[in-house]
């Protein structure tokens, strides 16, 4: 069975989706719909996606809708192809912002509704800008917890548990830098993330409160494809529970390692990443054994995968 994975903020890159949009009309249409939705800003989302500058694309207000538009278009292409090739999509999951792409794929809301949800989310997140996030590599989760408990002073929290040896912390800038210095002394590699706030931590409470005022009256449909959420790392079926998870999403960590382990226990053997880059593909390979993971965000790879899976003898799913 196939699990579809959708990347989050940080996967964006200048030029993302341009060649795909020229090849697949539905991807072009999704990008154009998103461009029109955000035209009120006086800027072109497509221009920023395809031509930059990077300094603009990295901002939350542009990175998030850009990723959603491309991932949604890729899903539309892959979903149609799977129907033609008699391939079954078992589950969907998205990393951070990618959860909105997963919920679109599952049928919880339309593409236009997804754009509105992301717009409201970005506006809420912009209310909190005093903070920092950083990735810590090559230290165990237990070591990170110990550093946070002993030296975090309540100002730094675990934001992402991505895979063995890779976590992200979030909090006040000075405190984040202090934890990084201590982690480096233990042999860790540390990377400050280019984000505008302390996402996925309790420091986003104000943003979560504002977002909840927007989201609570909104109606979601029940997922037609089972979805696993970041906050629970478990299957979620009830639309109201999914909405609540999206609110908690801003203040709670992304449990991605556990999400992949849940998918594996449920029987997922093939993992397809729908978005730019191959970050989630790498996390799958670092977390799970004896599975196939492929990123379909590059046109030659997507076309090769589509060709291979239309050949009956290749139904074992190519690992490109």
Q: Which residues are catalytic?
A: 96, 200
59 touches 140 (CB < 8 A): no
Structure tokens at 154: 């309540």
Cβ atoms within 10 A of the Cβ of 217, count? 7
Structure tokens at 311: 């050949």
6 touches 94 (CB < 8 A): yes
CA distance 118 to 195: 16
Structure tokens at 103: 């919920």
Nearest to 277 by CA among 46, 71, 57, 27: 71
* C-alpha of 151 from chain center: 29
Place of tokens 């590059």: 298
Torsion of CA 54, 58, 62, 68, to 10 degrees: 110
Neighbour-count burial for 51-82, b at 16+ CB within 10 Å, e otherwise: eeeeeebbbbbbbbbbbbbbbbbbbbbbbebb
- Name beta bridge partners: 161: 167
> How large is the greatest C-alpha to C-alpha distance in the chain, in angstroms?
58
* C-alpha of 159 from chain center: 13
271 touches 7 (CB < 8 A): no
């Amino acid at each position: 069975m196939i699990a579809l994975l959708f990347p989050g903020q940080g996967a964006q890159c200048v030029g993302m989706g341009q060649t795909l949009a020229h090849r697949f009309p539905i991807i072009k249409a999704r990008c154009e719909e998103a461009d029109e939705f955000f035209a009120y800003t006086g800027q072109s989302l497509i221009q920023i996606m395809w031509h930059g500058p990077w300094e603009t694309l990295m901002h939350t207000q542009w990175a998030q809708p850009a990723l959603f538009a491309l991932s949604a278009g890729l899903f539309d292409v892959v979903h149609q192809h799977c129907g033609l090739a008699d391939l079954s999509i078992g589950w969907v999951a998205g990393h951070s912002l990618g959860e909105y792409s997963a919920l679109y794929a599952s049928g919880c809301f339309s593409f236009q509704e997804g754009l509105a949800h992301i717009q409201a989310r970005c506006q809420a997140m912009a209310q909190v800008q005093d903070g920092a996030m950083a990735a810590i590599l090559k230290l165990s989760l237990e070591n990170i917890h110990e550093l946070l408990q002993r030296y975090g002073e309540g100002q730094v929290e675990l934001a992402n548990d991505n895979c063995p040896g890779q976590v992200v912390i979030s909090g006040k800038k000075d405190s984040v830098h202090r934890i990084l210095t201590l982690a480096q002394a233990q042999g860790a590699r540390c990377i400050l993330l280019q984000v505008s706030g302390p996402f996925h931590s309790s420091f986003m409470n104000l943003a979560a409160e504002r977002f909840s005022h927007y989201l609570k009256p909104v109606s979601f449909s029940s997922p037609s494809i089972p979805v696993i959420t970041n906050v629970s790392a478990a299957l979620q079926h009830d639309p109201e529970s999914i909405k609540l998870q999206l609110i908690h999403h801003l203040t709670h960590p992304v449990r991605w390692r556990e999400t992949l382990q849940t998918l594996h226990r449920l029987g997922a053997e093939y993992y397809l990443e729908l978005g730019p880059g191959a970050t989630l593909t790498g996390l799958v390979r670092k977390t799970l054994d004896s599975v196939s993971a492929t990123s379909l965000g590059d046109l030659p790879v997507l076309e090769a995968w589509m060709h291979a899976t239309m050949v009956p003898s290749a139904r074992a799913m190519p690992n490109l």
